[in-house]
Each structure stands twice: as structure tokens, then as C-alpha cells.
Amino acid sequence: MHPETVHITPYRSHAWVLITLLTFTVITVTVTWIDLSALTVFIALLIASVKSFIVLTYFMHLKYESTLFRVFVFIVLFIYVLVILFTLADYAYR
């Protein structure tokens, strides 16, 4: 391990990430006060996905790890999405 290749994230960046995540939390809570019926779940999941992307990228340092880590995470999430789609399709068309 060469210390000079290590990426040190400044405290400020972490603080900004936290503020962004808290902002999204406020949005996800306030959005439920408006009745959007079918869209509610979609918006909630969309915001949750954006928040997890931020956590994975910055807090979990995926941005600064080797490509291998990102490929692994992508494959796992891809497989999980496939499992969801196949199961839901099975329920919808049986």
C-alpha cells in the first residue's frame, strides 16, 4: 500500500454528503403529505435509490476504489433486480 495513492476525503465533503442526504429525507417525508396515489411508492423508492447511490458512492468510497468493486456491486444489484422482476412477473401472470 502506497500512502500517496490513498484518497483522503475532506471533512467538508462528508458534511455536504450528509446535508444532501438530510435534504432528501425532508423531501421524502414532505412528499407523503401530498396525495399522489400510485406515484407515492414510485417517488419514495426513487428518492431511496438516489440516497443509497450517494451512500454507496461517497460514504462507502466506491468512487475511490478500483473498478472491480463497482463491477461487483453492479452485478449483485443487477441480479437482485432480475429476481424482483421474475417474481413479480410470475405473480402478475399466473
Footprint of another protein on residues 75-94 (CB under 8 A)? 76-77, 80, 83-84, 87-88, 91
For residues 49 and 55, give the distance between their C-alpha atoms in angstroms, rounded to a whole number.
Answer: 10
Q: Shortest distance, CB of residue 93 to another protein, whole angstroms?
A: 13
For residues 79 and 26, give the distance between their C-alpha atoms in angstroms, rounded to a whole number.
Answer: 31
- Return the residue of 3, 5, 34, 94 that touches another protein, per CB under 8 A: 3
Cα 78 to Cα 2, 52, 61, 73: the distances in Å are 33, 15, 20, 8
Residue 52 phi, psi dihedral angles, 5° rounding:
-70, -35
Which residues contact residue 5 at a Cβ distance below 8 angstroms, ignoring those fewer than 6 apart? none
- Return the residue of 4, 48, 74, 93 that touches another protein, per CB under 8 A: 48
Binding residues vs another protein (CB under 8 A) = 1, 3, 6, 8-11, 14-15, 17-18, 21-22, 25, 28-29, 32, 40-41, 44-45, 47-48, 51-52, 55-56, 58-61, 65-66, 68-69, 72-73, 76-77, 80, 83-84, 87-88, 91
